[in-house]
Amino acid sequence: MLTTLGFVMIATFLVLIMMKRMSPIAALVLIPALFCVFVGQGAHLGDYVIEGVGKLAPTAAMLMFAIVYFGLMIDVGLFDPVVRGILRFCKADPVRVVVGTAVLAAVVSLDGDGSTTFMITVSAMYPLYKRLGLSMVVMTGVAATANGVMNTLPWGGPTARAATALKLDAGDIFVPMIPALAVGLVFVFVLAYVLGLRERKRVGTLVLLPDGAEEKATVLVGGPGAGTGATRSGTGAPATGATGPATGTGASDEAPTAPSAAADPEADVQGLDPHRPTLRPRLYWFNAGLTAALLTAMIMELLPIPVLFLLGAALALTVNFPHVPDQKARLAAHADNVLNVAGMVFAAAVFTGVLSGTGMVEHMADWLVDAVPEGMGPHMALVTGLLSLPLTYFMSNDGFYFGVLPVLAEAGAAHGVSALEIARASLVGQALHMSSPLVPAVYVLVGMAKVEFGDHTRFTVKWAALTSLVVLGAGIVFGIV
């Protein structure tokens, strides 16, 4: 009963948000509340929600102050040199833009925090995607998948959880996985190249839109006419200098209407405004040093991450904007992102609280483990890798690594499969996990990119799952799992 209701609840949530019948926040709150009543535990709903909020409150605090901190760093120009370098590489070529997105997301992911990665990547690439009329869903999908592969770093979370749950050394888990993860990252770059080629074919020769041009973010899902970008010759206002396709329908089920093409690929390509009044060039090295110290303290775990970002944001705000009106203006500028993300996190607390409080998640995990045929016992590492895809998507990392992984490891041990192999295999689902509706960072990504979560899910899940399978396959070939 609980197993069935758990799967139905998750399916209902995904269907409603992908069909855009409900907003993610409303769905995260109302659907679990309704199912809590269905299982006869409505009287305990308040307890489940408070427990879920308590568990996610540190994450919400971390995201709030991380958004403020890195928003300030973007305002004052800390990342402008990196952005200029990426944009010089990208020029106005869709292939380079999409590949550059993957490279930037992978590099920034070295800090181990998905929210940071998405804030920097979107801030750098969004203006270019918008002015060239490229699909924002391509940007979010590539960034999330690249970050998912890099999320397996020992300080990223999953590896540390696996090591703790199975009482192993994190280095023994991660280091042998490096070749397989490298193959996965290369696959992401190849995927970015292929998607870039599709974007180049879809938009033809690009027109660099004026800075003030108004257009909706192109959505690369849903068939012909699913989204709009800049005007395209033959479908709207004339596109000066355009030579691309003139039809108004996409080339495939994933190619919507597209903007026209650009005659001069290097003309006036800018990302962040180089003349914005918030720039603080004289404080560049202070801000760089502060950020380096903050990331070092995170990796060394000198203080809890929410505390580090709280202190860092307060210090950065005070030094860069000493006048109170300027501080208020900067906080107000980032309040929209903060409110959206924090609200999503607390809404997700209702979902996770009901899943765990009612026992649904435990029954679902037990059912999946029991469904493994006895003959697959000697291949429990492969089974763990395959199960990590759906389980880390529908469960939190804590729930999977501390609740399910020990059971899988015990089953593997009975058939002579080492705990290390099980732990390594459990990491392969992280590429898909980073687009889970239970991951707060993904709401930073779609919020800043102005993309509907349902559109992001429909586009990204298949590519992220394929990336995870590539990592698993590479691990098997290299004899790691």
* Residue of 246, 138, 261, 244 whose CA lies nearest to 208: 261
Q: What is the DSSP string of 380-429?
A: HHHHHHHHHHHHHHHS-HHHIIIIIHHHHHHHHHTTT--HHHHHHHTTTT
What separation in angstroms does the CA of 173 have from each of 185, 192, 257, 423, 425? 18, 28, 46, 7, 9
Assess whether pLDDT exceeds 70 at residue 99. Answer: yes
Looking at residue 206, what is its pLDDT? Answer: 54
| Lowest-confidence region among 103-112, 362-371, 381-390, 463-472 | 362-371
Give residue for tokens 């703790």: 164
pLDDT per residue over 195-246, tens digit each? 999 999 888 645 444 444 444 444 444 333 333 344 443 333 333 333 343 3
Assess whether pLDDT exceeds 50 at residue 184. Answer: yes
The span from the CA of 7 to the CA of 371, in Å, is 15
Q: What mean pLDDT do residues 428-435 have?
A: 92
pLDDT per residue over 36-80, tens digit each? 998 888 888 888 888 888 877 887 787 788 888 888 888 898 878
72 CB contacts (<8 Å, ≥6 apart)? Answer: 313, 316, 317, 320, 330, 334
Looking at residue 342, what is its pLDDT? Answer: 79
* Average pLDDT of the residues of the chain: 79
Decide: 392 and 151 in contact? Cβ < 8 Å.
Answer: no
**Confidence class for position 138, pLDDT limits 50, 70, 90:** very high
Q: What mean pLDDT do residues 84-98 have?
A: 81
Assess whether pLDDT exceeds 90 at residue 323. Answer: yes
Tell me the two tokens of residue 214. 């108004």
pLDDT per residue over 262-279, tens digit each? 334 433 444 567 778 889
The span from the CA of 8 to the CA of 29, in Å, is 15
The span from the CA of 347 to the CA of 49, in Å, is 9
- Per-residue burial over 190-209, b if 16 or more Cβ lie within 10 Å, else e, is ebbeebbebbbebbbbbbbb
The span from the CA of 198 to the CA of 39, in Å, is 47
The span from the CA of 232 to the CA of 243, in Å, is 10
Tell me the two tokens of residue 316. 């950065």
| Lowest-confidence region among 90-94, 141-145, 310-314, 332-336 | 90-94
Kindly report whether the global pTM for this prediction surpasses the value 0.85.
no
Looking at residue 405, what is its pLDDT? Answer: 84
Decide: 199 and 94 in contact? Cβ < 8 Å.
Answer: yes
